[in-house]
Every structure is written in structure tokens, then in C-alpha cells.
Amino acid sequence: VAVYCGMRVVEGEGDSYKIKDRLPGTEIDTPSGDVLPSLVMTSFISTQTLMIRRDIFHKVGGFDTQLPALEDWELMLRVAQHGRVLFVDEDLVEQRFSPNSLTKDKVKRVTAQEMILFKHRDMLSGYPGALTLGHSRIAGAHRALGADRKAYPHSFKAWKHGKRPKDFALACLSFVRGLFRAS
């Protein structure tokens, strides 16, 4: 239903640049074929690297324009449910982030993560650890922004789904800090 290639994420300008990251990374168990189990855990297919069959793109309704960020990840969560996604293991794309990049906007990113988790909750619940990880990441992002009152429910849900002591401790921390912070 789709094909994508590798991408180098670089930092710097001209000849003085360094490779900051590579997508997909080595942590992705299944970069080709049924990629949905990997996609529910993390975003690793970027729009610049992707070609989708036109009929599938229209069938899934295209990009969700309501999302403030992560539109490519959300699109691929829907596309990957329709068949195999092939990976060309060659870095054919080089990405440089600009200061106003949507990906770097932490508020837009955490808002999009919340929207995607809500929109795909039923599908994600079929993959062990996906809801735990999703809520844990959202809670961490809110804590990093100083929004402990917003972090608390996600930390608690991460603990509820995964029963990890770390999530329980972070839920308690967010709750207590939320009592003393205006977030």
C-alpha cells in the first residue's frame, strides 16, 4: 500500500553539518511488511520519504488537517492497516529542521499526541504497551512544559494500562506538583 526510504536528520549548514539521527532507527523491529506493530509505538515514517498508493490515500481520507503536528504518523497509522508497507533501505532524503518546525513545537506536538491517542484508542489497545507508552510520553511532555495538572491523568492512565511502578510514582509526583503549580 506504500513505500518509504531512509532519512538522515542533519544539523548545521553547508560543509559543517553532522548527522543527528537516522529514520528508521535500529530500534524498529519491522521496517518493512506489516509495520503497524512498530508504528503504534513510534513515528518513523516521514512524509518526505513516503509514497502511498492513490486509492489507499483516498480510502483513508488523506491527512487529518485538524492535527497541529504529527500528520504523517497519524496518516500512516491508518494506511498501514490496509496492507504491507515496503522499505527502501537507503537514505534518499536529508532533513534539516528550521527553528519554526512543527516537529520542534512542543505544545503542538503534545496536543497532536493526545488527539492521535484519543482518535486511535481502540486500535492502539490491541497492541500491548502502546497505550502505556503513549500516555507516558504525553505525561512526560506535559511535565517538561511545567503542566503537571495535565501530566497527572496521563501518568495515571500509563500506570493503569502498564502497572509500571515508575508511572505510578510519576502520577503521584504530577498530582502533588499540580497542587502547587498553576498549570
pTM over 0.95: no
Q: Give me 29's grid cell.
A: 523491529
Q: What is the pLDDT along the chain (183 residues), one digit of tens a residue?
A: 999 999 999 887 767 778 888 999 999 989 999 999 999 999 999 999 999 999 999 999 999 999 999 999 999 999 999 999 999 999 999 988 665 555 678 999 999 999 999 999 999 999 999 999 999 999 999 999 999 999 999 999 999 999 989 988 988 988 898 888 754
Cβ within 8 Å of residue 163, ≥6 positions away: none
